[in-house]
A and B are shown apart, each in its own frame.
Chain A
Protein backbone atom coordinates (compact mmCIF):
# COMPACT_ATOMS: atom_id res chain seq x y z
CA UNK A 1 0.00 0.00 0.00
CA UNK A 2 1.23 3.49 -0.87
CA UNK A 3 1.36 6.55 1.37
CA UNK A 4 -1.91 8.52 1.37
CA UNK A 5 0.00 11.76 1.48
CA UNK A 6 2.58 11.55 -1.33
CA UNK A 7 1.23 8.46 -3.12
CA UNK A 8 4.80 7.41 -3.87
CA UNK A 9 6.39 5.45 -1.05
CA UNK A 10 5.27 2.41 0.98
CA UNK A 11 3.35 2.87 4.24
CA UNK A 12 5.31 2.63 7.50
CA UNK A 13 3.12 4.54 9.98
CA UNK A 14 -0.61 4.60 10.65
CA UNK A 15 -2.08 7.45 12.65
CA UNK A 16 -5.58 8.34 13.77
CA UNK A 17 -6.93 11.75 12.98
CA UNK A 18 -10.23 13.61 12.81
CA UNK A 19 -11.27 14.65 9.32
CA UNK A 20 -14.40 16.75 9.01
CA UNK A 21 -15.94 15.39 12.20
CA UNK A 22 -15.05 11.73 11.60
CA UNK A 23 -12.40 9.48 13.09
CA UNK A 24 -10.10 8.47 10.25
CA UNK A 25 -6.89 6.52 9.84
CA UNK A 26 -4.07 7.87 7.71
CA UNK A 27 -1.38 5.63 6.29
CA UNK A 28 1.93 7.45 5.84
CA UNK A 29 5.39 6.66 4.51
CA UNK A 30 8.46 7.32 6.65
CA UNK A 31 9.29 10.55 4.82
CA UNK A 32 5.82 12.06 5.16
CA UNK A 33 5.54 10.88 8.77
CA UNK A 34 8.75 12.73 9.57
CA UNK A 35 7.70 15.82 7.63
CA UNK A 36 4.42 15.96 9.55
CA UNK A 37 6.01 15.39 12.95
CA UNK A 38 5.10 11.71 13.48
CA UNK A 39 8.28 9.91 14.36
CA UNK A 40 9.36 7.93 17.37
CA UNK A 41 11.57 9.77 19.80
CA UNK A 42 13.94 6.80 19.72
CA UNK A 43 14.43 6.98 15.96
CA UNK A 44 15.80 10.47 16.36
CA UNK A 45 18.10 9.57 19.18
CA UNK A 46 19.42 6.60 17.19
CA UNK A 47 18.13 4.27 19.84
CA UNK A 48 15.63 2.14 17.97
CA UNK A 49 13.84 -0.56 19.92
CA UNK A 50 14.18 -3.46 17.49
CA UNK A 51 17.94 -3.69 17.68
CA UNK A 52 17.96 -3.15 21.44
CA UNK A 53 15.68 -6.07 22.01
CA UNK A 54 17.33 -8.42 19.57
CA UNK A 55 20.70 -7.69 21.20
CA UNK A 56 19.29 -8.41 24.62
CA UNK A 57 17.46 -11.49 23.49
CA UNK A 58 20.70 -13.17 22.47
CA UNK A 59 22.17 -12.56 25.86
CA UNK A 60 19.14 -13.75 27.80
CA UNK A 61 18.72 -17.46 28.47
CA UNK A 62 15.25 -18.54 27.38
CA UNK A 63 13.56 -18.44 30.78
CA UNK A 64 9.94 -19.01 31.60
CA UNK A 65 9.80 -16.78 34.65
CA UNK A 66 6.40 -15.12 35.07
CA UNK A 67 5.74 -11.83 36.84
CA UNK A 68 3.82 -12.79 40.01
CA UNK A 69 1.47 -9.81 39.63
CA UNK A 70 0.52 -9.74 35.92
CA UNK A 71 1.79 -13.09 34.62
CA UNK A 72 3.97 -11.55 31.88
CA UNK A 73 7.19 -13.25 30.78
CA UNK A 74 10.21 -11.35 29.51
CA UNK A 75 9.37 -12.72 26.06
CA UNK A 76 5.96 -11.01 26.29
CA UNK A 77 7.68 -7.72 27.00
CA UNK A 78 10.02 -8.13 24.04
CA UNK A 79 7.23 -9.23 21.72
CA UNK A 80 4.96 -6.27 22.52
CA UNK A 81 7.64 -3.76 23.47
CA UNK A 82 5.44 -3.05 26.51
CA UNK A 83 5.95 -3.84 30.19
CA UNK A 84 3.15 -5.79 31.91
CA UNK A 85 2.91 -3.99 35.24
CA UNK A 86 4.89 -2.03 37.83
CA UNK A 87 6.02 -5.28 39.45
CA UNK A 88 7.62 -6.43 36.15
CA UNK A 89 10.30 -3.78 36.64
CA UNK A 90 11.39 -5.72 39.77
CA UNK A 91 10.79 -9.20 38.39
CA UNK A 92 12.83 -8.61 35.22
CA UNK A 93 15.20 -6.02 36.62
CA UNK A 94 18.33 -7.73 35.32
CA UNK A 95 16.99 -8.37 31.83
CA UNK A 96 15.59 -4.84 31.50
CA UNK A 97 18.71 -3.16 32.74
CA UNK A 98 20.69 -3.25 29.45
CA UNK A 99 17.61 -2.12 27.52
CA UNK A 100 17.09 0.86 29.82
CA UNK A 101 20.77 1.68 29.72
CA UNK A 102 20.68 1.66 25.94
CA UNK A 103 17.72 4.06 25.88
CA UNK A 104 18.71 6.41 28.69
CA UNK A 105 22.46 6.01 29.08
CA UNK A 106 23.62 6.77 32.61
CA UNK A 107 20.79 9.22 33.35
CA UNK A 108 18.51 8.78 36.35
CA UNK A 109 15.11 10.28 37.11
CA UNK A 110 15.52 13.81 38.41
CA UNK A 111 12.01 15.19 38.66
CA UNK A 112 9.17 15.04 41.14
CA UNK A 113 9.11 12.42 43.89
CA UNK A 114 5.67 11.30 45.17
CA UNK A 115 4.40 13.56 47.93
CA UNK A 116 7.00 16.23 47.28
CA UNK A 117 6.92 19.58 45.53
CA UNK A 118 8.31 20.04 42.05
CA UNK A 119 12.09 20.58 42.04
CA UNK A 120 13.22 24.09 41.06
CA UNK A 121 14.59 24.66 37.55
CA UNK A 122 18.36 24.69 37.18
CA UNK A 123 20.07 27.97 36.35
CA UNK A 124 21.42 28.56 32.84
CA UNK A 125 20.60 25.09 31.66
CA UNK A 126 18.69 26.05 28.52
CA UNK A 127 19.12 23.28 25.99
CA UNK A 128 22.01 21.48 27.62
CA UNK A 129 20.10 18.42 28.69
CA UNK A 130 18.80 17.87 25.19
CA UNK A 131 22.17 18.53 23.73
CA UNK A 132 23.71 15.94 26.06
CA UNK A 133 21.20 13.37 24.93
CA UNK A 134 22.00 14.18 21.34
CA UNK A 135 25.72 14.08 21.89
CA UNK A 136 25.28 10.56 23.26
CA UNK A 137 23.30 9.64 20.18
CA UNK A 138 25.91 11.11 17.93
CA UNK A 139 28.58 8.93 19.54
CA UNK A 140 26.84 5.90 18.13
CA UNK A 141 27.00 6.26 14.37
CA UNK A 142 28.11 8.41 11.54
CA UNK A 143 29.49 10.85 13.99
CA UNK A 144 30.63 13.63 11.70
CA UNK A 145 27.52 13.78 9.58
CA UNK A 146 25.14 13.77 12.53
CA UNK A 147 27.12 16.34 14.43
CA UNK A 148 27.04 18.67 11.44
CA UNK A 149 23.31 18.13 11.12
CA UNK A 150 22.78 18.83 14.78
CA UNK A 151 24.90 21.97 14.79
CA UNK A 152 23.03 23.23 11.80
CA UNK A 153 19.61 22.64 13.29
CA UNK A 154 20.60 24.23 16.60
CA UNK A 155 21.97 27.26 14.84
CA UNK A 156 18.78 27.62 12.86
CA UNK A 157 16.65 27.26 15.94
CA UNK A 158 18.71 29.80 17.81
CA UNK A 159 17.91 32.27 15.05
CA UNK A 160 21.34 32.35 13.45
CA UNK A 161 20.12 31.46 10.01
CA UNK A 162 16.91 31.49 8.10
CA UNK A 163 16.22 28.12 6.43
CA UNK A 164 14.16 29.94 3.82
CA UNK A 165 17.09 32.04 2.78
Chain B
Protein backbone atom coordinates (compact mmCIF):
# COMPACT_ATOMS: atom_id res chain seq x y z
CA UNK B 1 0.00 0.00 0.00
CA UNK B 2 2.74 2.43 1.06
CA UNK B 3 1.15 5.53 2.52
CA UNK B 4 3.18 8.54 3.62
CA UNK B 5 2.93 7.61 7.30
CA UNK B 6 4.57 4.21 6.72
CA UNK B 7 7.87 5.91 5.88
CA UNK B 8 10.37 6.81 8.61
CA UNK B 9 10.91 10.52 9.28
CA UNK B 10 13.25 12.96 10.99
CA UNK B 11 12.41 13.79 14.65
CA UNK B 12 9.50 11.38 14.52
CA UNK B 13 9.69 10.89 18.31
CA UNK B 14 7.96 14.28 18.62
CA UNK B 15 7.10 15.36 15.06
CA UNK B 16 4.56 12.92 13.69
CA UNK B 17 4.23 14.74 10.36
CA UNK B 18 4.68 18.03 8.49
CA UNK B 19 1.83 19.54 6.54
CA UNK B 20 1.42 22.41 4.07
CA UNK B 21 -1.98 23.79 3.07
CA UNK B 22 -2.18 26.29 0.23
CA UNK B 23 -5.53 27.82 -0.77
CA UNK B 24 -6.40 29.36 -4.13
CA UNK B 25 -9.51 30.67 -5.90
CA UNK B 26 -10.56 31.06 -9.51
CA UNK B 27 -10.91 34.64 -10.71
CA UNK B 28 -13.93 34.37 -13.01
CA UNK B 29 -16.43 32.55 -10.75
CA UNK B 30 -18.09 33.63 -7.49
CA UNK B 31 -16.31 32.62 -4.28
CA UNK B 32 -17.89 29.66 -2.38
CA UNK B 33 -20.17 31.95 -0.30
CA UNK B 34 -22.02 32.98 -3.49
CA UNK B 35 -21.65 29.87 -5.62
CA UNK B 36 -24.61 28.09 -7.21
CA UNK B 37 -24.72 24.32 -7.66
CA UNK B 38 -23.70 24.71 -11.29
CA UNK B 39 -20.77 26.97 -10.30
CA UNK B 40 -19.58 24.25 -7.95
CA UNK B 41 -19.85 21.69 -10.71
CA UNK B 42 -17.89 23.96 -13.03
CA UNK B 43 -15.07 24.40 -10.48
CA UNK B 44 -14.92 20.65 -9.92
CA UNK B 45 -14.71 19.87 -13.62
CA UNK B 46 -12.00 22.45 -14.21
CA UNK B 47 -9.89 21.26 -11.30
CA UNK B 48 -10.31 17.62 -12.30
CA UNK B 49 -9.19 18.44 -15.83
CA UNK B 50 -6.21 20.47 -14.61
CA UNK B 51 -5.16 17.66 -12.24
CA UNK B 52 -5.32 15.04 -14.98
CA UNK B 53 -2.72 17.08 -16.89
CA UNK B 54 -0.23 17.16 -13.98
CA UNK B 55 2.72 14.99 -15.03
CA UNK B 56 3.71 11.89 -12.98
CA UNK B 57 0.76 12.03 -10.59
CA UNK B 58 -2.40 9.92 -10.58
CA UNK B 59 -5.41 11.05 -8.54
CA UNK B 60 -8.25 9.23 -6.82
CA UNK B 61 -11.45 11.28 -6.64
CA UNK B 62 -13.93 11.28 -3.75
CA UNK B 63 -17.07 13.30 -4.52
CA UNK B 64 -18.62 13.99 -1.13
CA UNK B 65 -22.20 13.96 -2.45
CA UNK B 66 -21.69 10.28 -3.31
CA UNK B 67 -19.84 9.17 -0.18
CA UNK B 68 -21.33 7.09 2.61
CA UNK B 69 -20.91 8.81 6.01
CA UNK B 70 -18.16 6.44 7.11
CA UNK B 71 -16.27 6.93 3.82
CA UNK B 72 -16.33 10.68 4.38
CA UNK B 73 -15.24 10.34 8.00
CA UNK B 74 -12.42 8.07 6.90
CA UNK B 75 -11.10 10.91 4.71
CA UNK B 76 -10.82 13.01 7.88
CA UNK B 77 -9.25 10.18 9.86
CA UNK B 78 -6.62 9.77 7.13
CA UNK B 79 -5.81 13.49 7.41
CA UNK B 80 -7.01 14.26 3.88
CA UNK B 81 -9.55 16.90 4.94
CA UNK B 82 -11.16 18.46 8.01
CA UNK B 83 -14.39 17.59 9.82
CA UNK B 84 -15.70 21.03 8.75
CA UNK B 85 -15.10 20.07 5.11
CA UNK B 86 -17.28 16.94 5.20
CA UNK B 87 -19.98 18.63 7.30
CA UNK B 88 -21.33 20.40 4.20
CA UNK B 89 -20.74 17.93 1.39
CA UNK B 90 -22.70 19.63 -1.43
CA UNK B 91 -20.53 19.89 -4.54
CA UNK B 92 -17.33 19.20 -2.61
CA UNK B 93 -14.63 16.81 -3.73
CA UNK B 94 -11.26 15.49 -2.56
CA UNK B 95 -8.61 14.36 -5.04
CA UNK B 96 -5.66 12.48 -3.57
CA UNK B 97 -2.59 10.58 -4.70
CA UNK B 98 -2.11 6.87 -4.00
CA UNK B 99 0.24 7.44 -1.05
CA UNK B 100 -2.16 10.14 0.27
CA UNK B 101 0.74 12.60 0.60
CA UNK B 102 -0.84 15.14 -1.77
CA UNK B 103 -4.48 16.08 -1.97
CA UNK B 104 -6.63 18.80 -3.44
CA UNK B 105 -9.92 19.84 -1.84
CA UNK B 106 -12.49 21.51 -4.08
CA UNK B 107 -15.32 23.90 -3.06
CA UNK B 108 -14.52 24.20 0.63
CA UNK B 109 -14.06 27.68 2.11
CA UNK B 110 -11.93 28.26 -1.00
CA UNK B 111 -12.32 26.92 -4.53
CA UNK B 112 -9.08 24.96 -4.27
CA UNK B 113 -7.07 23.88 -1.23
CA UNK B 114 -3.86 21.99 -1.97
CA UNK B 115 -2.36 19.93 0.82
CA UNK B 116 0.93 18.10 1.15
CA UNK B 117 1.96 15.96 4.10
CA UNK B 118 5.05 13.93 4.94
CA UNK B 119 6.37 11.85 7.79
CA UNK B 120 8.48 13.60 10.46
CA UNK B 121 10.06 17.01 10.19
CA UNK B 122 10.05 17.82 6.46
CA UNK B 123 8.35 21.18 5.96
CA UNK B 124 10.70 22.65 3.32
CA UNK B 125 10.33 19.52 1.14
CA UNK B 126 6.56 19.49 1.50
CA UNK B 127 6.41 23.21 0.69
CA UNK B 128 8.38 22.53 -2.50
CA UNK B 129 6.00 19.77 -3.59
CA UNK B 130 2.89 21.88 -2.97
CA UNK B 131 4.48 24.92 -4.59
CA UNK B 132 5.25 22.90 -7.72
CA UNK B 133 1.67 21.64 -7.87
CA UNK B 134 0.42 25.22 -7.49
CA UNK B 135 2.65 26.45 -10.33
CA UNK B 136 1.42 23.71 -12.66
CA UNK B 137 -2.26 24.15 -11.78
CA UNK B 138 -2.01 27.93 -12.09
CA UNK B 139 -1.06 27.58 -15.75
CA UNK B 140 -4.53 26.29 -16.56
CA UNK B 141 -6.67 27.52 -13.66
CA UNK B 142 -5.30 31.10 -13.43
CA UNK B 143 -5.77 31.66 -9.70
CA UNK B 144 -7.09 35.04 -8.53
CA UNK B 145 -4.19 37.27 -7.50
CA UNK B 146 -3.65 40.93 -6.62
CA UNK B 147 -0.15 42.43 -6.46
CA UNK B 148 -0.63 44.11 -3.07
CA UNK B 149 -3.16 41.73 -1.50
CA UNK B 150 -1.71 38.45 -2.74
CA UNK B 151 -3.93 35.44 -3.49
CA UNK B 152 -7.57 36.51 -3.22
CA UNK B 153 -10.08 34.65 -1.07
CA UNK B 154 -13.55 35.34 0.32
CA UNK B 155 -12.05 35.76 3.79
CA UNK B 156 -10.71 39.26 4.29
CA UNK B 157 -8.48 38.05 7.12
CA UNK B 158 -6.81 35.32 5.06
CA UNK B 159 -5.23 37.21 2.16
CA UNK B 160 -1.54 37.00 1.22
CA UNK B 161 0.19 33.71 0.50
CA UNK B 162 -2.83 31.47 1.19
CA UNK B 163 -0.34 29.29 3.06
CA UNK B 164 -0.97 27.44 6.32
CA UNK B 165 2.03 25.36 7.35
CA UNK B 166 1.64 23.01 10.30
CA UNK B 167 3.35 20.22 12.20
CA UNK B 168 1.59 17.29 13.85
CA UNK B 169 3.20 16.86 17.25
CA UNK B 170 3.20 14.03 19.77
CA UNK B 171 3.30 15.70 23.19
CA UNK B 172 2.45 13.08 25.86
CA UNK B 173 4.80 14.41 28.55
CA UNK B 174 3.71 18.04 28.18
CA UNK B 175 0.09 16.93 28.20
CA UNK B 176 0.68 14.82 31.30
CA UNK B 177 2.18 17.80 33.11
CA UNK B 178 -0.78 19.98 32.11
CA UNK B 179 1.42 22.37 30.13
CA UNK B 180 -0.30 22.14 26.75
CA UNK B 181 -3.25 24.40 27.49
CA UNK B 182 -0.97 27.21 28.65
CA UNK B 183 1.21 26.71 25.57
CA UNK B 184 -1.90 26.81 23.41
CA UNK B 185 -2.83 30.29 24.63
CA UNK B 186 0.81 31.44 24.50
CA UNK B 187 1.27 30.49 20.85
CA UNK B 188 -2.17 31.90 19.98
CA UNK B 189 -0.82 35.33 20.85
CA UNK B 190 1.91 34.84 18.26
CA UNK B 191 -0.58 33.97 15.52
CA UNK B 192 -0.33 30.17 15.89
CA UNK B 193 -2.90 27.58 16.90
CA UNK B 194 -2.19 24.41 18.88
CA UNK B 195 -5.09 21.95 18.74
CA UNK B 196 -5.68 18.30 19.58
CA UNK B 197 -5.83 16.08 16.52
CA UNK B 198 -8.32 13.49 17.78
CA UNK B 199 -11.67 14.48 19.23
CA UNK B 200 -9.97 17.80 19.46
CA UNK B 201 -12.91 19.55 21.10
CA UNK B 202 -13.07 18.07 24.54
CA UNK B 203 -10.22 15.77 25.39
CA UNK B 204 -7.19 15.72 23.08
CA UNK B 205 -6.64 11.97 22.96
CA UNK B 206 -3.49 10.11 21.95
CA UNK B 207 -1.45 13.22 22.89
CA UNK B 208 -1.44 14.22 19.19
CA UNK B 209 -1.60 17.95 18.42
CA UNK B 210 -1.39 20.18 15.37
CA UNK B 211 0.62 23.41 15.56
CA UNK B 212 -0.29 25.79 12.72
CA UNK B 213 1.14 29.15 11.68
CA UNK B 214 -1.97 31.15 10.78
CA UNK B 215 -0.28 34.35 9.62
CA UNK B 216 -0.38 34.46 5.84
CA UNK B 217 -0.12 38.15 5.07
CA UNK B 218 3.00 40.31 4.95
CA UNK B 219 5.21 37.26 5.25
CA UNK B 220 6.70 35.03 2.57
CA UNK B 221 6.02 31.28 2.41
CA UNK B 222 9.57 30.40 3.41
CA UNK B 223 9.54 32.80 6.37
CA UNK B 224 6.18 31.49 7.58
CA UNK B 225 7.69 27.99 7.57
CA UNK B 226 10.80 29.27 9.32
CA UNK B 227 8.73 30.88 12.10
CA UNK B 228 6.76 27.67 12.53
CA UNK B 229 9.96 25.62 12.77
CA UNK B 230 11.29 28.00 15.38
CA UNK B 231 8.22 27.59 17.61
CA UNK B 232 7.89 23.84 17.00
CA UNK B 233 11.61 23.39 17.75
CA UNK B 234 11.04 24.98 21.15
CA UNK B 235 8.06 22.74 21.83
CA UNK B 236 10.10 19.66 20.81
CA UNK B 237 12.90 20.56 23.21
CA UNK B 238 10.42 21.09 26.02
CA UNK B 239 8.64 17.80 25.27
CA UNK B 240 11.90 15.83 25.17
CA UNK B 241 13.04 17.31 28.50
CA UNK B 242 9.70 16.60 30.12
CA UNK B 243 9.66 13.08 28.68
CA UNK B 244 13.14 12.21 29.96
CA UNK B 245 12.23 13.38 33.44
CA UNK B 246 8.85 11.63 33.33
CA UNK B 247 10.15 8.27 32.09
CA UNK B 248 12.75 8.06 34.86
CA UNK B 249 10.07 7.43 37.44
CA UNK B 250 9.14 3.84 38.21
CA UNK B 251 5.42 4.57 37.94
CA UNK B 252 5.88 5.87 34.41
CA UNK B 253 7.92 2.84 33.36
CA UNK B 254 5.32 0.60 34.90
CA UNK B 255 2.58 2.42 32.99
CA UNK B 256 4.46 1.96 29.70
CA UNK B 257 4.95 -1.76 30.39
CA UNK B 258 1.30 -2.26 31.27
CA UNK B 259 0.11 -0.31 28.22
CA UNK B 260 2.19 -2.56 25.97
CA UNK B 261 0.85 -5.68 27.66
CA UNK B 262 -2.77 -4.61 27.23
CA UNK B 263 -2.37 -3.34 23.66
CA UNK B 264 -0.56 -6.52 22.58
CA UNK B 265 -2.92 -9.00 24.19
CA UNK B 266 -6.39 -7.40 24.47
CA UNK B 267 -9.23 -9.31 22.81
CA UNK B 268 -11.34 -6.20 22.22
CA UNK B 269 -10.39 -2.51 22.18
CA UNK B 270 -12.43 0.67 21.95
CA UNK B 271 -10.77 3.43 19.93
CA UNK B 272 -10.57 5.80 22.92
CA UNK B 273 -8.79 3.11 24.93
CA UNK B 274 -6.52 2.38 21.98
CA UNK B 275 -5.49 6.05 21.83
CA UNK B 276 -4.63 6.13 25.52
CA UNK B 277 -2.49 2.99 25.28
CA UNK B 278 -0.97 4.08 21.97
CA UNK B 279 0.34 7.29 23.58
CA UNK B 280 2.12 5.35 26.36
CA UNK B 281 3.51 2.69 24.03
CA UNK B 282 4.69 5.26 21.48
CA UNK B 283 6.51 7.12 24.24
CA UNK B 284 8.15 3.85 25.30
CA UNK B 285 9.18 2.99 21.73
CA UNK B 286 10.70 6.45 21.20
CA UNK B 287 12.64 6.20 24.49
CA UNK B 288 14.00 2.74 23.64
CA UNK B 289 12.05 1.13 26.48
CA UNK B 290 10.09 -0.97 24.03
CA UNK B 291 11.86 -2.98 21.35
CA UNK B 292 10.68 -5.06 18.42
CA UNK B 293 8.39 -2.45 16.88
CA UNK B 294 9.22 0.74 14.97
CA UNK B 295 7.44 4.02 15.58
CA UNK B 296 6.18 4.19 11.97
CA UNK B 297 4.62 0.72 12.38
CA UNK B 298 2.82 1.98 15.46
CA UNK B 299 1.60 5.09 13.61
CA UNK B 300 0.42 2.99 10.66
CA UNK B 301 -1.49 0.91 13.20
CA UNK B 302 -3.17 4.09 14.44
CA UNK B 303 -4.37 4.90 10.91
CA UNK B 304 -5.58 1.31 10.40
CA UNK B 305 -7.68 1.15 13.58
CA UNK B 306 -9.45 4.50 13.37
CA UNK B 307 -13.17 3.64 13.55
CA UNK B 308 -14.44 4.68 10.10
CA UNK B 309 -11.27 3.57 8.30
CA UNK B 310 -11.38 0.21 10.06
CA UNK B 311 -14.97 -0.30 8.91
CA UNK B 312 -14.27 0.84 5.39
CA UNK B 313 -11.26 -1.43 4.95
CA UNK B 314 -13.19 -4.40 6.36
CA UNK B 315 -15.39 -4.11 3.28
CA UNK B 316 -18.42 -5.51 5.15
CA UNK B 317 -20.65 -4.37 8.01
CA UNK B 318 -19.27 -5.09 11.49
CA UNK B 319 -21.05 -4.93 14.84
CA UNK B 320 -19.54 -2.74 17.56
CA UNK B 321 -18.12 -5.85 19.24
CA UNK B 322 -16.64 -7.10 15.95
CA UNK B 323 -14.98 -3.72 15.37
CA UNK B 324 -13.34 -3.83 18.77
CA UNK B 325 -12.15 -7.38 18.20
CA UNK B 326 -10.73 -6.50 14.80
CA UNK B 327 -8.91 -3.50 16.30
CA UNK B 328 -7.41 -5.73 18.99
CA UNK B 329 -6.32 -8.29 16.37
CA UNK B 330 -4.50 -5.59 14.38
CA UNK B 331 -2.71 -4.44 17.55
CA UNK B 332 -1.72 -7.99 18.47
CA UNK B 333 -0.27 -8.58 15.00
CA UNK B 334 1.82 -5.40 14.95
CA UNK B 335 3.05 -5.88 18.53
CA UNK B 336 3.69 -9.65 18.35
CA UNK B 337 7.47 -9.14 18.47
CA UNK B 338 7.44 -6.14 20.80
CA UNK B 339 9.04 -6.43 24.20
CA UNK B 340 9.39 -4.20 27.22
CA UNK B 341 12.97 -3.40 28.28
CA UNK B 342 12.52 -1.60 31.62
CA UNK B 343 15.21 0.52 33.19
CA UNK B 344 16.80 1.54 29.91
Contact A110 B156, beta carbon cutoff 8 Å: no
Give 5 A-B pairs besides A20-B271, A153-B186 with Cβ atoms closer than 8 angstroms: A44-B188, A86-B144, A99-B156, A109-B147, A134-B190
The count of residues in chain A whose C-beta lies closer than 8 Å to any C-beta of chain B is 79
* Alpha-carbon distance between A26 and B196 when the two chains are bound, in angstroms: 14
Contact B271 A37, beta carbon cutoff 8 Å: no
Q: Chain B residues with Cβ under 8 A from A80's Cβ? A: 33
Contact B227 A130, beta carbon cutoff 8 Å: yes
Q: Smallest CB–CB gap between B256 and chain A, Å?
A: 21
Which residue from chain A places its CB closest to the CB of B225 in the assembled complex? Answer: A121
Contacts A36-B184, A159-B234 given: A109-B226 contact, CB under 8 Å?
no
Our pick among A21, A45, A83, A164 for the contact of B306 (Cβ within 8 Å) is A21
Contacts A26-B201, A109-B161, A134-B190 given: A118-B230 contact, CB under 8 Å?
no
Which residue from chain B places its CB closest to the CB of A125 in the assembled complex? Answer: B223
Our pick among A34, A44, A81 for the contact of B191 (Cβ within 8 Å) is A44
Q: Chain B residues with Cβ under 8 A from A18's Cβ? A: 73, 76-77, 83, 198-199, 308
* Alpha-carbon distance between A5 and B196 when the two chains are bound, in angstroms: 14
* Alpha-carbon distance between A15 and B196 when the two chains are bound, in angstroms: 13
B149 proximal to A (CB < 8 A): yes
Q: How many A-B residue pairs have CB under 8 A?
A: 247
B183 proximal to A (CB < 8 A): yes
Q: Smallest CB–CB gap between B128 and chain A, Å?
A: 8
Q: Chain B residues with Cβ under 8 A from A25's Cβ? A: 87
1/0 contact string of A59-92 vs chain B (CB within 8 Å) = 0000000000111100000001111111101000
Contacts A36-B196, A109-B159 given: A114-B145 contact, CB under 8 Å?
yes
Contact A34 B188, beta carbon cutoff 8 Å: yes
Which residue from chain A places its CB closest to the CB of B174 in the assembled complex? Answer: A164
A-B contact pairs, 25 of them (CB 8 A): A16-B84, A17-B201, A19-B199, A21-B70, A21-B311, A22-B69, A34-B185, A36-B196, A37-B193, A37-B196, A41-B215, A44-B189, A81-B155, A82-B155, A86-B144, A104-B217, A109-B149, A111-B220, A112-B221, A115-B135, A121-B220, A121-B226, A129-B219, A153-B189, A164-B178
1/0 contact string of A132-165 vs chain B (CB within 8 Å) = 0110000000000000011001101111001110
Contact A112 B131, beta carbon cutoff 8 Å: yes
B177 proximal to A (CB < 8 A): yes
A: which residues have CB within 8 A of B? 4-5, 15-26, 28, 34-42, 44-45, 49, 69-72, 80-87, 89, 96, 99-100, 103-105, 107-115, 117-122, 125-127, 129-130, 133-134, 149-150, 153-154, 156-159, 162-164
B187 proximal to A (CB < 8 A): yes
* Alpha-carbon distance between A15 and B199 when the two chains are bound, in angstroms: 11
Contact A109 B308, beta carbon cutoff 8 Å: no
Q: Chain B residues with Cβ under 8 A from A129's Cβ? A: 215, 218-219, 223, 227
Q: Which of the listed residues A108, A115, A129 has the most CB atoms from chain B within 10 Å of its own CB?
A: A129
Which residue from chain A places its CB closest to the CB of B154 in the assembled complex? Answer: A82
Q: Chain B residues with Cβ under 8 A from A163's Cβ? A: 179, 182-183, 186
**Contacting chain A: which of B10-18, B23-31, B97-105, B295-303?**
B23-31
Q: Chain A residues with Cβ under 8 A from B208's Cβ? A: none
Q: Chain A residues with Cβ under 8 A from B184's Cβ? A: 34-37
Contact B191 A45, beta carbon cutoff 8 Å: yes
Q: Chain B residues with Cβ under 8 A from A162's Cβ? A: 238
Contact A110 B219, beta carbon cutoff 8 Å: yes
Q: Chain B residues with Cβ under 8 A from A82's Cβ? A: 31, 33, 154-156
1/0 contact string of B206-238 vs chain A (CB within 8 Å) = 000000001101111111011100110010011
Which residue from chain B places its CB closest to the CB of A41 in the assembled complex? Answer: B214
Q: Smallest CB–CB gap between B85 and chain A, Å?
A: 9
Contacts A103-B156, A121-B223 given: A130-B191 contact, CB under 8 Å?
yes
B138 proximal to A (CB < 8 A): yes
Q: Chain A residues with Cβ under 8 A from B149's Cβ? A: 89, 100, 108-109
* Alpha-carbon distance between A39 and B186 when the two chains are bound, in angstroms: 12
Our pick among A40, A84, A153 for the contact of B190 (Cβ within 8 Å) is A153
Contact B199 A17, beta carbon cutoff 8 Å: yes
Contact A108 B201, beta carbon cutoff 8 Å: no
Q: Smallest CB–CB gap between B191 and chain A, Å?
A: 5
